[in-house]
Amino acid sequence: MYEQIIPWAVLGLLFILCLPIPVVRRFILAVTVWALRLALLALIGGAAYLWFRPSDVPAWVVDTAAAFPRLRDALPDPTTPNFGIAVAAIIVGAMLPVLAVLDACRRAARADRDRVRSAEPAGGTSSEAPAEPARAPAQRPTGRTAAADAIASAGSRPARPGDPRPR
């Protein structure tokens, strides 16, 4: 019975995680950033381990490197201590820009959340007078006649000494 309910529950959870809900997006972003960061640190730790014990390289890693001739030619021999560091450098170097983008997105989401929170009233109703509404920017006159009328209604400034023509 549970074999049929669990896949549908997982499907429902994935559906909710795909919705554009700000809290869910921030959660997924935070989990992704930390998972990637921890994976990269584990990869660096694995490279350090393989430096001291190069004979412990898993067979599937050697087979994967052997499946790509150009990669195999660019990497050192899998039995040398430099192999783990070379593989880790390639993978971590490729993933650092992704981590930087995810960090920037997380900072932007945090700033957006803080901006929304600062715009909301803190205690619901308050006895203070509401803040002045934002003024709309002044509209520029359109057309020559409207512009001339706006200039004429603004008034002229008094003449200053040294002006080439009187006003």
The dihedral over CA atoms of 37, 42, 48, 54, expressed in degrees to the nearest 10, equals: -140
- Rounded to whole angstroms, the Cα distance separating 21 from 15 reads 11
Q: Name the percent of the chain lying above pLDDT 70.
A: 80
**Secondary structure of the chain in the HEC alphabet?**
CHHHHHHHHHHHHHHHHHCCCHHHHHHHHHHHHHHHHHHHHHHHHHHHHHHHCHHHCCHHHHHHHHHCHHHHHHCCCCCCCHHHHHHHHHHHHHHHHHHHHHHHHHHHHHHHHHHHHHHCCCCCCCCCCCCCCCCCCCCCCCCHHHHHHHHHHHCCCCCCCCCCCCC
pLDDT for 137 equals 66
pLDDT for 166 equals 54
**Full-model pTM:** 0.62
CB 62 within 8 A of CB 75: no
């002006």: which residue's tokens?
Answer: 163
pLDDT of 5 higher than 70: yes
- Mean pLDDT score across all residues of the chain: 83
- Rounded to whole angstroms, the Cα distance separating 62 from 78 reads 7
Confidence of residue 160 (pLDDT cuts 50, 70, 90): low
Phi, psi of 28 (to 5 degrees): -65, -40
pLDDT in tens, 116-142: 788 776 655 555 555 666 666 666 657
Taking alpha carbons only, the member of 63, 65, 60, 67 closest to residue 75 is: 65
Which residues, in sequence order, are CB contacts of 28 under 8 Å at separation 6+?
17
pLDDT in tens, 32-90: 999 999 999 999 999 999 999 999 999 998 898 889 999 889 999 988 999 999 999 99
